[in-house]
Structure formats: structure tokens, C-alpha cells
Amino acid sequence: MNPRVIGTVRSHLVSREQCPKYGDASMPPVWIELAPDFEPAATDLQVGDSILVLTWMHQGDQSVLRCHPQGNRELPMRGIFSTRSPDRPTPIGLHAVRILGREGLRLKVHPLEVIDGTPVIDIKPDNTPCPAQTEFSSLVNPDTGQAILTAGRDGWQRGLFAGFNGNVSIRQGERVVITATGSAKGHLSPKDLAVVDLSTGTPVSSVRASSEIAVHLEVYRNQPRAKAIVHTHPPKLLALSLRGEGPLLDLPLFEGRVFADKLTRVPAHRPGTVELAQAVGQASRDFEAVFMDNHGLVCWGDSMIQALGLSEELESLAGIAMTR
């Protein structure tokens, strides 16, 4: 039995193949056209409201009980109830969106990743407390979350982060908690934390992870001792690298020898690429600090304090080297 339809989605997406697996912040907004009969029910919906939209995924295969997550056949099959596949016994979609505009019974919402013509079967207020209200979400261990927030603030105060650059993560079992894309490291809050599956890279939370998530995943996969990672853009170390004068930290100091031995360098690769991630991951097998030419520094440790502390030591030595 099909449910009662209250409206229809009008979207730029016209096929299942075009739909992202999760609501993507980079997508354009779409419209929901409500049927006239339901005008009284929609009276109090306003621009800015967070709502839950339930859709009837009419092109879903209701006979499917197991699938490859995200349609990736390289991943093992899972029971359909542990996935977001549109193919399921009762093909109901649940989407957390915000109303960006309203024209009568037309609601402009974002992000909604269904195809044009998808029936809407219900709308509810999203009363789920956001992480900022309940501190950290149920996906993030409070100690893990606080360690990341503190590292972002401390690194920013020491000049290792500027504006929105860099990223910080901690391994939490078989998941990785990492700063969100576009987050200011000196002013992080719980809502700036994303959670990703370590083995597959699949998002576990609705928060979008840093664009450098692949680097973090490759380090954790290649270096089992890594529990925390700090990726900074240290200005002194970057400036020193641009001089092109031999090794980065060739100093006749005890500390220089100790910490320089922890550092290696990889050639320049475009940020966010598989090539960069793989280069850093492989280098992390033998070194605790990896300098990425024309980009920045990645340090790992068995704790956030160790990873951030190593970043600070190397930047301090770079400052000394700059004055020679």
C-alpha cells in the first residue's frame, strides 16, 4: 500500500545516478510543491526552519534486503536496514533540511538529494538537539571532541593555523573524528566535528569532513601507532622550504638532530588528491612528521598532545634556522 502523497520534489536531479549518497552542501537547493489540500498544515512553516522531509522513493526496488554500501561492489554486502539505500522493503527517505525560501505552497529546501518528481509523504519539525546544544553528538566521545577543540585553539594561538586552513583528527576505534570543511581552527565548536568510517571513508555523520580527510585516513591505515593527527600550515617552516637551501632543519643543535630525524618531505601534490594522501600515508610508516612541499605539515602521535607538540617543536626549529 502506497502512503498518502502531500507534495512533490522539483529538483535538478533527473536520474538515480546523479543523486549523491548523502545531502551535499555543494548542491543547489530544490523545491517542494505541496498539494493545495495541505495548505492549513503548512501554515506555520517559515524560512529558516529545520525540518525532516519524508519521501517515497518510488524508483526503489522493494525486493532488496542486502546491498553493497553506496553501490560500491568492492565493499562487503550489508543488510539494507544498516544502509541508506533507496532500494528497501518500504522505500521511505528521511532528509534533514532547512527551509531557505517560501512561495505560497512551494518550499525551497537544502540539502535534498532525491530525483525530480519524488513524492513527499510527510514533513515534521526537526527537534533533534544539535551538537552545540548537547555538547558532542552521540557519535563523538566527549574526551575525543574536547581534545580536538583544544588542539585547534592551541595551534591557532601558536600561529600554526590561520583562518580556515589545516585540520585535526583523532582515531576513535574504527572511526575517525575530524574537523569539518571550512571550520576555523581557533574557534571550533562541537558542530564542527565530522565522523568518518576508517576502512571505507564513508561519512557516518551529517557534518562534512575536511577536504584532506584522505590524508588522515591513509596515515591511520599505514601507521597503527597513530592515534591523533595535526595538519598545520606553519609559516616559518613553509618560508624555510621556499628558500630551497638543502635540508629543512639542518641545525647543529641537539634538539635539531632529535626532531629533524622525525621529519621527512614529500613532493608537491595537489591538496585533496589521492596522490597526496598516498604519499603522506606511505611516509608515515617511518616518520612522525611529513612535510608536504608547497602545502604544509602533517604530524601524528599516540595522543593529540604528542602530535601538536611535534608540530610546535618543528616550527620553533624553523624559526631558529630562519635567523642563521
Query: What is the pLDDT averaged over residues 277-284?
Result: 97
Q: What percent of the chain clears pLDDT 90, i.e. is strictly above it?
A: 56
Cα–Cα distance between 293 and 267 in angstroms, integer?
Answer: 5
Coil, strand, or helix at residue 243? Answer: helix
Select from 176, 149, 163, 286 the least CA-distant residue to 233: 163
pLDDT at 181: 92
Q: Is the pTM above the cut of 0.85?
A: no
Give the model confidence (pLDDT) of 201-238 as tens digits: 989 888 899 989 999 999 999 999 999 999 999 999 89
pLDDT surpassing 90 at residue 21: no
Instruction: Burial-class residue 274 by CB neighbours within 10 Å (0-12, 13-18, 19+).
Output: exposed
Query: What's the mean pLDDT when you consider all of the chain?
Result: 88
Q: What is the 3-state secondary structure (H, E, C) of 125-174?
A: ECCCCCCCCCCCCCCCCHHHHHHHHHHHHHHHHCCCCCCCCCEEEEEECC
Select from 73, 102, 96, 70 the least CA-distant residue to 83: 70
Give the model confidence (pLDDT) of 229-265 as tens digits: 999 999 998 988 888 755 567 666 766 666 778 889 9
Which grid cell is 260?
Answer: 629533524
Give the model confidence (pLDDT) of 115-174 as tens digits: 999 999 999 988 765 544 456 766 788 889 999 999 999 999 999 999 899 999 999 888
Query: Which residue has 554486502 as its cell numbers?
Result: 77
pLDDT at 23: 58
Q: What angle do CA 223, 237, 261 make, to 5 degrees?
A: 45
> In the chain, what are the domains?
7-125 (2.40.30.70), 142-322 (3.40.225.10)
Query: What is the pLDDT averaged over residues 164-190?
Result: 93
Please state at what angle helix 213-222 crosses helix 274-283, rounded to 10 degrees.
Answer: 30
End-to-end CA distance of the chain: 79
